[in-house]
A and B are shown apart, each in its own frame.
Chain A
Amino acid sequence: MTETAPPLLEIEGLTFGFRNQSANLVDGVSLTLGRNETLCIVGESGCGKSVTALSLMGLLPPDAVRIDSGTVTFEGETIDAGDFARLSRLRGDRMAMIFQEPMTSLNPAFRIGNQITEAVRHHRGGTEAEARERALEALEKVGIPAARQRLDEYPHQLSGGMRQRVMIAMALVNDPSVLIADEPTTALDVTVQAQILDLIADLQTRSGMGAILITHDLGVVAQVATRVAVMYAGRIVEIGTAQEIFEDPQHPYTIGLMSSVPRLTGPRQRLSTVPGLVPTPDGMPEGCRFSTRCPFARPTCREVPKLAPVAGEHHVACHYAPLETRLEAG
């Protein structure tokens, strides 16, 4: 992201929750994404990373979820986060999404080609033959061998990795400027995982597309991220460039995440974990939501910490940041 160009996508103060619960699922999340940039959102299950992505796509069930506030500015157009109709016009077109489960994400009853042309014709119109050519191009672009044949095959005839490629082709067929990938490689073999990540990175450099990658796999983050946002219990607790986050993590939760990754080098030691569980929406602690599990928690943590700058783009939401101050104090 350059200083002068406006970001491709800007989320401002996104806040929402279930209609039948008072606590927020996602609380005041703000993010930006630039062209050609890969923003990784990390955090453990239930931290709100997937629902944040779904809300961008206008894919949250409107009868179960209340959007309290937030705006999405996309290519200069500002949309209210609760305006599902306007968001849904973007999805599949300017903004596309791929999911975790390639095995079940394609409709078993329809041919691959048909599932892709459907997306083309919905947004672009045109004839089936034209859409089919576009679909073929997309399949070739994602490196599917014998793409013309694949058009007439059914999902069950393809492997998991191939299906994820088809999903990517389907997402990219309308040349979106933002791709949201929700754990796109979690269900795949490690070797296939690397191929898919390389493919996304390659497509990005070719088209300048921005990508939001949601994952809990820090190995994946280290491999592809330009910037990293760490989410905990519906809030962003730390955000910065990949280098800043990996070399100088500031939030106790980020530090906990980093140290729970097994390492191949250095002395063998017991894997450290972050004790406790993510609080449930109706059992959210006041103030800092990590305070119940934080080894450094103090009485001041009952107040909500602001996301404050540490250095450069690096921001952290902790009363005791930067870390050095905290260690000296405690």
Chain B
Amino acid sequence: MLAFIGRRLLVAIPTILLISVFVFLLQQLLPGDPILAMAGEERDPATIEFLREKYGLNDPLPVQYFKWIGGVIQGDLGISLRTNQPVSELLLQKLPVTIQLAVMALIFAVVIGVPAGILSAVKKGTVVDYAANVVALSGLSIPNFWLGIMLILLVSVKWGLLPASGYTPPGEDLVRSITTMLMPAFVLGTALAATLMRHTRSAMLGVLKSDYVRTARAKGLYERRVILRHAFRNALVPIVTLTALLFGELVAGAVLTEQIFTIPGFGKLVVDAVFNRDYAVVQGIVLCTAVGFIVMNLLADAAYFALNPRLRKS
């Protein structure tokens, strides 16, 4: 198992490097020049030249890249062109917020999507199945921002049950932190829950037809045990894969959700950075997300080992 994870990690290194090159070049293609913005109204050529030199923008591209990646490896992601704060500091500030949102959203997605998927597979072709599918389809088709706004209107404005926006760190006030994040996490989680439900359903349908499920029944086991132990355990492999892949969707969704609920997280950071052409921050965020994606896939691979004994041998 360790060898397998080690091999995966080795493969991850060139992947991350490739992404870093891509990220670095991508920002060269972005229109606009932050130096011009910094230099002010007069656009004094001497000032511009000074600033270019200061930020190393006069070096050839490969030199700029190696300078940058060298720093990245040491944890230095550069300085925000706008706020003059180190990018790593900004990321460390915002990352926990988004991780909290993502984890809570994922919990919503799993808690809703997986049982609904199992239920609709077991009750295939019945009212329960159709109802679950209708709910899932609406979950997929209702846009995040609309659902978010509606929830704010209803739950916060009309009923006054939950705060409409903002963020409280869990260290400060855990209950408040969770209640504040409840609505955004739900909004972000529903779309994922729908995807998860449909995949759980099809995975379960496949597994329920298998010979070993029939064997489990022939042993006389209760149907609940047959479904939850014998069938679900085997359906978990595709479900875990999908959950790891949903990470991308989660980050993309977080950007929007954080805007709606004005949560000072990663999503807000990236939007602000892009609008302000804050290259260093954009690079840091994209790189960070890419690493997050790779870590999620690694975790999924590790989960296969626990789930599928056939893999353990090789």
A123 lies within 8 A of chain B by Cβ: yes
Contact A108 B234 (CB under 8 A): yes
Interface residues of B in 272-314 (CB under 8 A from A): 307-310, 313
Contacts of B233 in A (CB 8 A): 107, 109-110
User: How far does the alpha carbon of A107 sit from the alpha carbon of B207 in the complex, in Å?
Assistant: 10
B157 lies within 8 A of chain A by Cβ: no
Interface residues of B in 228-250 (CB under 8 A from A): 230, 233-234
Known: A104-B210, A108-B308, A156-B309. A122 touches B219 (CB 8 A): yes
Interface residues of A in 81-114 (CB under 8 A from B): 88-93, 96-97, 99, 101, 104-111
Contacts of B215 in A (CB 8 A): 99, 105-107, 167, 170
Nearest-CB distance from B163 to chain A (Å)?
A: 44
Contacts of B210 in A (CB 8 A): 104
Interface residues on B, range: 20 to 34
Q: Per-residue CB proximity of B189-230 to A under 8 Å, as 1/0?
A: 000000000000000000000111011111111100000001
Quick one: which of B220, B233, B310 has the most chain A CB within 10 A?
A: B220
User: How far does the alpha carbon of A154 sit from the alpha carbon of B308 in the complex, in Å?
Assistant: 10
Known: A99-B215, A105-B211, A107-B234. A123 touches B307 (CB 8 A): no
A119 lies within 8 A of chain B by Cβ: yes
Interface residues of B in 43-79 (CB under 8 A from A): none
Contact A104 B211 (CB under 8 A): yes
User: How far does the alpha carbon of A202 sit from the alpha carbon of B37 in the complex, in Å?
Assistant: 91
Nearest-CB distance from B81 to chain A (Å)?
A: 53
Known: A108-B212, A156-B309. A57 touches B218 (CB 8 A): yes
User: How far does the alpha carbon of A109 sit from the alpha carbon of B211 in the complex, in Å?
Assistant: 13
Quick one: which of A59, A105, A109, A111 has the most chain B CB within 10 A?
A: A109
A118 lies within 8 A of chain B by Cβ: yes
Contacts of A96 in B (CB 8 A): 218
Q: Among B212, B219, B221, B310, which residue has its beta carbon within 8 angstroms of that of A104?
A: B212
Nearest-CB distance from B187 to chain A (Å)?
A: 35
Known: A104-B211, A105-B212. A97 touches B307 (CB 8 A): no
Residue of A nearest to B223 (CB): A88
User: How far does the alpha carbon of A105 sit from the alpha carbon of B212 in the complex, in Å?
Assistant: 4
User: How far does the alpha carbon of A119 sit from the alpha carbon of B219 in the complex, in Å?
Assistant: 6
Q: Per-residue CB proximity of B147-159 to A under 8 Å, as 1/0?
A: 0000000000000
Contacts of B234 in A (CB 8 A): 107-109
Residue of B nearest to A92 (CB): B220
Contact A91 B218 (CB under 8 A): yes
Q: Among A111, A118, A156, which residue has its beta carbon within 8 angstroms of that of B221?
A: A118
Contact A88 B220 (CB under 8 A): yes
Q: Among B218, B307, B310, which residue has its beta carbon within 8 angstroms of that of A92?
A: B218
Nearest-CB distance from A173 to chain B (Å)?
A: 9
Nearest-CB distance from B241 to chain A (Å)?
A: 16
Q: Per-residue CB proximity of B98-136 to A under 8 Å, as 1/0?
A: 000000000000000000000000000000000000000
Nearest-CB distance from A258 to chain B (Å)?
A: 31
Q: Among B216, B230, B310, which residue has its beta carbon within 8 angstroms of that of A156?
A: B310
Contacts of A109 in B (CB 8 A): 233-234, 307-309
Nearest-CB distance from A63 to chain B (Å)?
A: 8
Known: A101-B211, A107-B234, A109-B234. A92 touches B219 (CB 8 A): yes
Contacts of A156 in B (CB 8 A): 309-310, 313
User: How far does the alpha carbon of A154 sit from the alpha carbon of B309 in the complex, in Å?
Assistant: 7
User: How far does the alpha carbon of A92 sit from the alpha carbon of B217 in the complex, in Å?
Assistant: 8
Contacts of A101 in B (CB 8 A): 211
Contact A59 B211 (CB under 8 A): no
Interface residues of A in 158-185 (CB under 8 A from B): 167, 170-171
5 A-B pairs closest in CB distance: A92-B220, A92-B219, A107-B212, A104-B211, A119-B219
What would be 12 A-B contacts, judged by CB atoms less than 8 Å apart?
A57-B218, A59-B214, A59-B217, A91-B219, A92-B218, A99-B215, A105-B211, A109-B307, A111-B309, A118-B221, A119-B221, A170-B219
Task: Mark A residues whose CB is within 8 Å of B.
Answer: 57, 59, 88-93, 96-97, 99, 101, 104-111, 118-119, 122-123, 154, 156-157, 167, 170-171
